[in-house]
Each structure stands twice: as structure tokens, then as C-alpha cells.
Structure 1
Amino acid sequence: MSTIVKKAWGYRYAVLVILWLVYIINYFDRMAVLTFLPFIQKDLNLTPVEVGQLASVFFFAYAAAQISAGFLADKFGAKKVMYVAITVFTFVTAVTGMVKTFGQFLALRIGLGLGEGHHFAPAIRAINNWFPHKERGRAVSFFATSWAVAPAIVPVIVTSISIYFFSGNWRPVFYVLAIPGAIGIFLLWRFIADSPKEMIAKGKLSKDQDIDGDNDSSVRKLSKEEKRKSYGVFMKDVNFYVFTLCLFCQLAVYWGTTTWLTSFLVTQHGLNLKEMGLFASAPYIVAFFAMMLGGWLMDNVLHRMKPVALIGYICSIPVLWMLGAVEKGNTGLLLTLLLLVGFFVNLNFGSIYAYLPKLYPKEVVGSATGLANGIGQMGAFVSPLVAGYLVKVGANGAQDFSRVFIFFAIVSAVAAVCAIILKENKANNVSVKLINNEKSIS
């Protein structure tokens, strides 16, 4: 028994790390497309508007999948939904290497969005099951760093594979990406369960391993009437919608900049494939530390999301505005602004996704997260599409992204207004009231 206890101690952290690794694999697939986007655009002879449409249709499918993913995770368990998700997006990514036309690419982008969209809400649900209330801010913040680590390493890795193994050809890289997908499926199968109680029941964890009572995720099965009332708590909460609009704006800025960054670096600043990979990674290197800092501030210093959000959104406005105006050849200023954008745009990512798990009980947090993220992801749908129309194409084919980054700065300002309006104390009181009501009927 003592051996089992030693192996089981802190197993929730092992679960968190595995979920983090699997989500990095998720990002490998989508970031590979965005990294090679200027070269795919050239090979398929696509206009900036068509590129914006391809980026946006992915996020439309992704947003729609978020909503169903939350409810499916609540009904069937997080692990099963993640299994299906990773299988679908791994297959679609491999097939992307064969794309020949705009129509084919459009269909694959929809398929990738549906596959990857069913991954996020179940992962958040799993974290909520495994971690006590007081640690969820840090846990979600660590998980959110996968969104920084993957964009930081993927451009360098996939461009290096392309350059050193396939003579600069982007297509074979997508076949290679089926390998990490298979690894992700194995990790889910071997190490993940929906809850500590499930692993204890299977004899894989000892009963006295370090998961406290708050964290015991034996979620009580609610009746249909109880579920309807529980959903009503967040559906009728004004702060839920303010939060969702704030998330909409944050995702619009993040995915707008992420989608167009490689094209901005190649077409406006004339960077080659290798240089582009390095510069495209820069914002996400600092993003890792920004996300961890935001979650730590929320849990240990400020105890609220709002101040973290305001720092991130307000400081993003000038750096985004200036980034689009950097003159070609001024690589020092370009790199500095990329690092600042990476820090401020990502500062609130961990804390914003920790808001709902701290706000609502575990019986409905998957549904609340799925619905909020589904609506919020529409920001990621709208932003690349609008940006595609804002790119100015000169007579010689040169592209100017200054208006694109002004648009992102304006969206950051709207997010700041939402953060000011958001009333966290009221929302927390609602959560406590619901939890107390559940205890009284159990």
C-alpha cells in the first residue's frame, strides 16, 4: 500500500500535465496551418479575403463545437469526448497536406474546427473534477500556457522540418503531424480518468491519496428539473453575458493576431521562412510567463479576475496600434512590440478561464464553459474575417496591415470596458447560493 500511496501522491498534477501536453498537440495542428499560411496562400493563389474566410470558417465550426462539447462532457464524461476530438483533428490534419483547391481547404478547415472544438470544454471539466476550488485558478492558468508554449515552439519546429527534411515544402509536414496525434490518444487512454473516484474504484489510486473533499469529483446526478434550475443560474446571470462578451473580444484579439502574424511578417516585413518562424514564436515565449503570472495574481494577490483583465486589455491597446505601423527593416522595434503584445494579450488568459470554474458548481461548469466559450469563439470567427478586408494590397502586391492592428487595438478597448462593467462579487454570491441550495436538496 505504501508504494501505491507514493505513486498516487499529487496525481492530479500528473493529470494536469498530460492534459496540457495533449492540448499542445491540438495546437500543433492548427498552428501548423497558420504558420504556413502565406505559403499556402501563394501555392493555392488565394486573396487576403479568401485567407480571412478560411481562418474564420475554422473558428465558426470551432465555436459551434464548443457549445455541444460542454454538454457532451457533462453527459458522457470528459475523456470520451476528448478521445473523439483528437481522433478527428489528427485525421483532418494529415489530409491537409493533400489540399489542392480553396473548396477542399474550406471543407478541411470546418472539419478541423469541429474536431478541435470538442477538446477544450472537456479538458476544463476534467481540471475542475481533479482540482479543489482554491487551486483552480493556478491549474487553469497552467493549462492555458499550452496556448503559449505551442505557438512558441510550433512555428520553429514545423518550419525546421520543412526546411531540413522536405526542402521547404509545407505539405509533408502535415503527414508527420499524425504522429503526435497518435501519442495524444495513447496518453488519454493510459493515464486519464474523468475523476479521482473513478481511478480509485479501478484500483489505480489509493483512497488516501492527496485529493481533498472539495476535489472529490463524484458529481451528483441531478434530475432534469434540478439541471434546468442549475442552468438557469448562469443563463439568467447578467455577469455571465458580460463575461462572455469580454471573452469574445479577448479571443478576437488573440486569434486575429495569431492568424495574420505570419502573413504580416512575410508580406509586410519581407522575412524568409526561417526568420518568420523565429519572429512568429517570440510573442508566445513571453505569453507563457504572462499566463502564469495572471493566474497567480488572481489566486494569491488580487483574488479577482477584473484587475488582471484591465492591466492586460488597456496595455494591449497602444502596443497593438504601434505594431502595425513599424517600418520595414526596423527588426529591433518589431521584436520588442511582438514581445509586449505576447505579454499583455495573454496576461488574462489563465484567469479569465478560471472565472467560471470558481463561479459555478461542478455539475454545470462544463455546460457554462462550453456555452461561454462557444459564443466567445465567435470573436475568433469575426476577427480574421474582418482583418482580411482591412489588409491593403498595393499595385506591386505588397500588403499593409496597419489598419488590421488598429482594429485589434479597438477590440482590446471594448474588452477593457467589459471588464470594468463586470461585477465579480455579485456573481460569486450567486454561485454560493446555488451551492448551498444543492447541499440542502442532497
Structure 2
Amino acid sequence: MSAAVKKAWGYRYVVLFILWLLYIINYFDRVAVLTFLPFIQKDMNLTPVEVGQIASAFFFAYAIGQITSGFLADKFGPKKVMNVAIITFTLVTVVTGFVKNFGQFIAVRIGLGLGEAHHFPPAAKAISNWFPYSQRGTALSIFNTSNYVGLAIVPIVLTNLSATLFDGQWRPVFYTLAIPGAIGVLLLWLFFKDTPDEMYKKGRVSQEEMDLIRADKGVTMPEATTEKGRNKVYLKDSTFYIICLIMFCQMGILWGFTTWLSTFLVKQHGFNIKEMGYVASLPSVISIVSILLGGWLMDKLGRMKPIALIANLGCIPVLWMIGTVEKGNVPVLLAMLFLSGFFVAFNSGSVTAALQKRYPSEVVGGATGLVNGSGQLGAFLTPLVAGYLVNVGSGGSFDFTNVFMYFSALAGLAAISALFLKEKPIEMAKIVQSSGR
């Protein structure tokens, strides 16, 4: 990295902080249902299969929305798409507090999925617009810590809010989540623009910062390239589909794990609501460090392959062992949850950075949307499959051994896929020539 890149500091970090904060707000809405799932299950008399279907309904809608959100961000700009997303998922979250039956729950989960799907690809595109090529791995990893900060603090905040203000009830908590949503819309309106050029005209971006961003763009799209030619940049690249498969496995593990963790802790290990909130947050605490380390290595090495291999090879034994920990063996359970947080998150920022390092910024929104859509298909299928793998004993006991074996198998598939990655920046001349511009 050049001395200029190391030296320059500027408004792009304000933009990064706003994007980071907005995504934590996103996670309050997303994780609220998963946090209270064992208690919602009891109140609404849901079976494990129905719980899996409720969780997966979100990710099915989310996967579909990811595809459209990337193209919309490329066409209309990140700000407009994120604004609509935040307003939508905030309103749907408030409505969730009023649901009375399984069918209504499925409907609001689909609505939440469609709303939240239009947040991540625009945010990733904004980072591509605002950050020089050589800083994108670190910037995206910092942004992706919002996932794990959200997973770390949301269960604690919401379970304590429920216990202290609402006498253990879950419905009023959803009404209060309108407040952070309104704050998010205000922050986006006041402090964010799609490109540094817009803020430069307002005097918030220095000439030094503009020169830095313009001089270090990475791969660029030749002028007059047709829309068809733009899409071919990644659609005709085998590495793109390998990244899609890795993302499918990684997001399947993350959201399968996150969906069932609170129920696993309450049903199989006997934790109460407050204990569960703190223990469920443990993996995400170490994930914050892990994802930053992975992003730093991505910029240092310039390759995702070694990071993906470390992450997924580490997940295989750790996830397997979590499901076999005996009830009452809290130290071993906590140790395994700690390790799972490290390995599950290690490649999270790098996989998105790999797209931004390989493809031009003009198509990053669409490519990110498709890759993240593949990931959300994994997130859709995994909680659903896990619901069928939970063993319910005659006395009402729960056994999650098969669930965690399934998560471990997904990690093995991701590790094998990573062996076939090619990561040099795409050769634009060949793509443009084959597309006829």
C-alpha cells in the first residue's frame, strides 16, 4: 500500500461509519425474532419444523431481493435503495409485534426479508465508490463487523429490555424498534451521498482524498461497453460461481447457527432468558476481531483462498463438537462457542472484498447482489433442514447433534470449493472483445 493511501484520512471514513451504524440498526430488526424464538414458539404452540419454516421464510425473500437490490443500486444509486429498505423493514418489524398465528408470521417474515435484502448490496457498492482499491478489503471487513456487533449486542439489549421494561413479554420490544429505524433514515439523509464527487462539491471531501480515490480505482470498465458486456464480466467467469457456492455454505452456517442457537441453549442446555441472551452473544464478540483479521489478511495477501480455507477447515471440528457437548458442561460449551465465532466470521469480509478486487466497480452492485443472493439461499435452506434434523424426545427433550453435523458438512463443502478459486483481477480486454462492446 502506498504512503499516500496510508496517510490520507477523510470523509470516506464518515461514510463507512454511517453504513456500519445503519447495518447494526438492520440487525436489531433481523435478529429480534431469532432472539425470542423459543418464547414465540411456546406462546404460539409451534413445532420445530414450523420454527424452521418461519426462519427460512425470511431468507427465501431475502435471497430474491438480493438479486434485484444489486441491479437497482447500480441503476439508481445506493442511497435511494437503502432509504426504501430501511423504511420498509422498520415498518414490518413493528407489525411483527401484532402477529397472532403461523400464517401471519410467515407473511411478516417475507416482508422483512424483501425489505432488508435491499440494504447490503447498495452498501457494498457505496464502499466500492468511496474507497481506493487497496483499502477495500479492510473497509469491507470493518463494515461487516456490523453483522457481528449486531449479533453480539442485540440479544443482550432485547432480552434485558424485555425482562426489565416489559415483564418478560416479547411483543412490546418490536414496537420500540421503530425508533432506531427513524434514526437510520435521518443519518442517511444528513451524512451520505452515493459518490465522493457529490461531497467534494459540498466541500466535505478534500482534493487530497479525491486524488487518492481516483488514482487507485482497481479494475475499470472500458467506455461504451454494452449492458450485456457488463454482465458478462462476471457471468462468464467460473470464479464467480465458486464464490457463490462458498457464500451459500458460509451464510447457511451463519444463519442456521444463529437461528437455532437460542433454542439450542434453552431447550438442550436449560438456560433462562437472560442467561441465553449473554451466552448467545459470545460467538459474535470474537467474530468482531476475527473478521477484521480476515480483512487485513485479504489486503495483505491479495487473495481470499487461504482465508477461506482457514475459516472453513476450522469450522468442521468445532461445529461438530458443539452438538455433542453434554448438558451441564458449560466451560466446554463456552469454549466451543468462542471458537465457532472466530472461524464462522473469519472469511465474511474477504468474500465480498474478493468481488471488488476482481471486477470493475460499475458491476460490483450486480455481482454482489447475485453472490449474496446465493448466500441467502443457503441461509434459507439451512434453518429449514435443521428443523427436520432436531430430535424431539418423548419427554419433550431436544437433541441438536444432527443439526451441528449438518453445519460441519457445509463447512467441508466450502473448504473444497475454495481450492478452485482464481483471484487475479479480471482481464477486461477479453471480456469486452467477446461481448462486442
| Shorter-normalised TM range | over 0.9
1:230, CA displacement in angstroms? Answer: 1.6
Counterpart residue number, 1:397: 396
Q: 2: distance between equivalents of 1:9 and 1:375?
A: 35
Deviates more, 1:93-102 or 1:79-88: 93-102
Distance 1:211 1:64, change over 3 A: farther
Counterpart residue number, 1:335: 334
1:376, CA displacement in angstroms? Answer: 2.2
For residues 382-432 of structure 1, the C-alpha deviation after alignment (integer angstroms, 9 at most, x for no partner) is 10000000000011111110000000000000000000121223xx24358
1:204, CA displacement in angstroms? Answer: 4.1
Counterpart residue number, 2:427: 430
Q: Is the CA contact (8 Å cut-off) linking 1:16 and 1:143 kept in structure 2?
A: yes
Within 5 A, what are the aligned runs for 1:74-223?
74-209=74-209, 211-212=211-212, 213-214=214-215
Q: Is the CA contact (8 Å cut-off) linking 1:66 and 1:118 kept in structure 2?
A: yes
Q: 2: distance between equivalents of 1:297 and 1:325?
A: 32
1:12 aligns with 2:15: no
1:209, CA displacement in angstroms? Answer: 4.0
Structure 2 SS opposite 1:134: helix
Structure 2 SS opposite 1:397: coil
Counterpart residue number, 2:273: 273
Q: Is the CA contact (8 Å cut-off) linking 1:85 and 1:119 kept in structure 2?
A: yes
1:287, CA displacement in angstroms? Answer: 0.2
Q: 1: distance between equivalents of 2:373 and 2:426?
A: 25
1:47 aligns with 2:44: no
TM-score by length of 1: 0.93
Q: Is the CA contact (8 Å cut-off) linking 1:9 and 1:210 kept in structure 2?
A: no
Q: 2: distance between equivalents of 1:409 and 1:431?
A: 38
Q: 1: distance between equivalents of 2:244 and 2:221?
A: 27
The amino acid across from 2:179 in the alignment is: I
Counterpart residue number, 1:317: 316
Distance 1:256 1:201, change over 3 A: same
TM-score by length of 2: 0.94
Q: Is the CA contact (8 Å cut-off) linking 1:361 and 1:435 kept in structure 2?
A: no
1:95, CA displacement in angstroms? Answer: 1.0
Q: 1: distance between equivalents of 2:206 and 2:147?
A: 33
Q: 2: distance between equivalents of 1:437 and 1:132?
A: 28
1:232 aligns with 2:232: yes
The amino acid across from 1:313 in the alignment is: N
Deviates more, 1:87-96 or 1:429-438: 429-438
Distance 1:9 1:283, change over 3 A: closer
The number of residue pairs the alignment matches comes to 427
The amino acid across from 1:252 in the alignment is: G
Structure 2 SS opposite 1:98: coil
Distance 1:231 1:265, change over 3 A: same
Q: 2: distance between equivalents of 1:145 and 1:429?
A: 28
1:349, CA displacement in angstroms? Answer: 0.5
Q: 1: distance between equivalents of 2:178 and 2:429?
A: 45
Q: 2: distance between equivalents of 1:200 and 1:393?
A: 60
- Structure 1: stretches of 5+ with no match in the other structure: 1-7
Within 5 A, what are the aligned runs for 1:253-332?
253-300=253-300, 302-332=301-331
Distance 1:65 1:18, change over 3 A: same
The amino acid across from 1:430 in the alignment is: E
Distance 1:132 1:101, change over 3 A: same
Counterpart residue number, 1:376: 375
Counterpart residue number, 1:34: 34
Q: 2: distance between equivalents of 1:437 and 1:336?
A: 53
Within 5 A, what are the aligned runs for 1:53-68?
53-68=53-68
1:377, CA displacement in angstroms? Answer: 1.2
1:371, CA displacement in angstroms? Answer: 1.2
Q: Is the CA contact (8 Å cut-off) linking 2:221 and 2:428 kept in structure 1?
A: no
The amino acid across from 2:166 in the alignment is: F
Q: CA RMSD in A?
A: 2.1
Deviates more, 1:9-18 or 1:310-319: 9-18
Q: 1: distance between equivalents of 2:28 and 2:294?
A: 24
- Structure 2: stretches of 5+ with no match in the other structure: 1-7
Q: Is the CA contact (8 Å cut-off) linking 1:196 and 1:216 kept in structure 2?
A: no
For residues 54-110 of structure 1, the C-alpha deviation after alignment (integer angstroms, 9 at most, x for no partner) is 111100100100000000000000000000000000001111111110011000000
The amino acid across from 1:26 in the alignment is: N
Deviates more, 1:315-324 or 1:227-236: 227-236
The amino acid across from 1:145 in the alignment is: T
Q: Is the CA contact (8 Å cut-off) linking 2:359 and 2:426 kept in structure 1?
A: no
Q: 2: distance between equivalents of 1:434 and 1:321?
A: 43
Q: Is the CA contact (8 Å cut-off) linking 2:196 and 2:210 kept in structure 1?
A: no
The amino acid across from 2:61 in the alignment is: A
Q: Is the CA contact (8 Å cut-off) linking 2:230 and 2:363 kept in structure 1?
A: yes
Q: 1: distance between equivalents of 2:94 and 2:293?
A: 36
Counterpart residue number, 2:348: 349
Q: 2: distance between equivalents of 1:26 and 1:204?
A: 27
Q: 2: distance between equivalents of 1:139 and 1:436?
A: 33
